[in-house]
Amino acid sequence: GQQVQQSPASLVLQEGENAELQCNFSSTATRLQWFYQRPGGSLVSLLSNPSGTKHTGRLTSTTVTKERRGSLHISSSQITDSGTYLCARNNAGAKLTFGGGTRLTVRP
Amino acid sequence: NAGVIQTPRHKVTGKGQEATLWCEPISGHSAVFWYRQTIVQGLEFLTYFRNQAPIDDSGMPKERFSAQMPNQSHSTLKIQSTQPQDSAVYLCASSFLGTANTEVFFGKGTRLTVV
């Protein structure tokens, strides 16, 4: 089965609304790493953390490795936040296993 | 820090030709990874090196694909006798290994189109 599952697969928001993206993984992980990608664009690392919560700007990543889940919260969404958000399971810098992504669309 | 550098950014090859993709990892990083991204399959792991040694090539198609890391400053992915199904964005990434704060950083990718 899929090792990393993300939900929802797609999400449409009005500008200013908050978003909560979920990531569940089926085997152990040292940390989760969140990436952002625009269509045709490169993967941009957003946040990477082991268990706990980490903030940067309007983004908050929460990881509970014992429960094999994580989430990415985007507050006060902006149109420029539109794109695909990918969660990846990371074991101490070894290979990443990616989820299928959440495609976010923020409308004016 | 220029990040992970991949060349070329775009490559078009005819069916049956060879394609070589280049990657320069972030200086000082001990691990180099190759991934492939398509709309249908998403992001797939291909192979990785640690301190230039091949560690895991479980994602590499057994025929036609090979990867090398002749020195710490570059890695290559070679595809022989390219086929249309090889068309994808090939991503190289690098990281430190074995530290608590390890993140993996990606290059901008090489878009390979086999016609």
Taken in order of first residue, the domains within chain A and their CATH numbers are 4-107 (2.60.40.10)
Interface test with B, best of A95, A97, A103 (most B CBs within 10 A): A95
Q: Are strands B74-79 and B65-71 parallel, antiparallel or unpaired?
A: antiparallel
State yes or no: pLDDT of A81 exceeds 90.
yes
Residue B42 lies in domain? 5-109
For B108, which of A42, A45, A86 is closest by C-beta distance?
A42
Residue B88 lies in a domain: yes
Residue A103 burial (10 A CB sphere; 0-12, 13-18, 19+): middle
Q: Which of B19, B20, B31, B9 is nearest to B109 (CA)?
A: B9
**Does the pLDDT value for residue A73 go beyond 90?**
yes
Radius of gyration of chain A from Cα atoms? 13
pLDDT at residue A36, as a whole number: 97
* CB contact residues (below 8 A), chain B span 83-102, against chain A: 91, 93, 95-102
Are the C-beta atoms of residues B106 and B5 closer than 8 Å to each other?
no
Q: Which residue has the higher pLDDT, A91 or A15?
A: A15
Question: Using an 8 Å Cβ cutoff, are A107 and A79 in contact?
Answer: yes
Residue B115 lies in a domain: no
* Cα separations in angstroms, B18 against B46, B81, B87: 18, 5, 13
pLDDT score of B100? 54
> What are the contacts of B10-13 at 24+ separation with CB within 8 A?
B10/B110, B10/B111, B10/B113, B11/B110, B11/B111, B11/B112, B11/B113, B12/B112, B12/B113, B12/B114, B12/B115, B13/B82, B13/B112, B13/B113, B13/B114, B13/B115
**Distance, CA of A75 to CA of A54 (rounded, Å):** 14
Q: Does some domain include residue B13? A: yes
Average of per-residue pLDDT values in chain A: 91
* pLDDT at site A96: 87
Please work out, in degrees rounded to the nearest 5, the angle formed at the alpha carbon of residue A33 by the alpha carbons of A29 and A34.
140
Of A45, A95, A98, the CB nearest to B103: A45
With contact defined as beta carbons under 8 Å apart, do B92 and B107 qualify?
Answer: yes
Per-residue model confidence (pLDDT) at position B55: 92
Closest partner CB to A100 (pick from B42, B45, B96): B42
Q: Is the pLDDT of residue B109 over 70?
A: yes
Taking a C-beta distance cutoff of 8 angstroms, is the pair A23, A99 a contact? yes
Q: Tell me, what's the pLDDT at B107?
A: 95
Number of domains in chain B: 1
Read off the CATH number of the domain in which B18 is found.
Answer: 2.60.40.10
Identity of residue A62: T
Residue B46 belongs to some domain of the structure = yes
- Helix, strand or coil for residue B17? coil
Interface size A-B, in CB pairs within 8 Å, comes to 55
pLDDT at residue number B62: 86
pLDDT in tens, A15-66: 999 999 999 988 776 788 999 999 888 899 999 888 899 999 999 999 998 8
- Asked if residue B114 is part of any domain, the answer here is no
Residue B103 domain-assigned (yes or no): yes
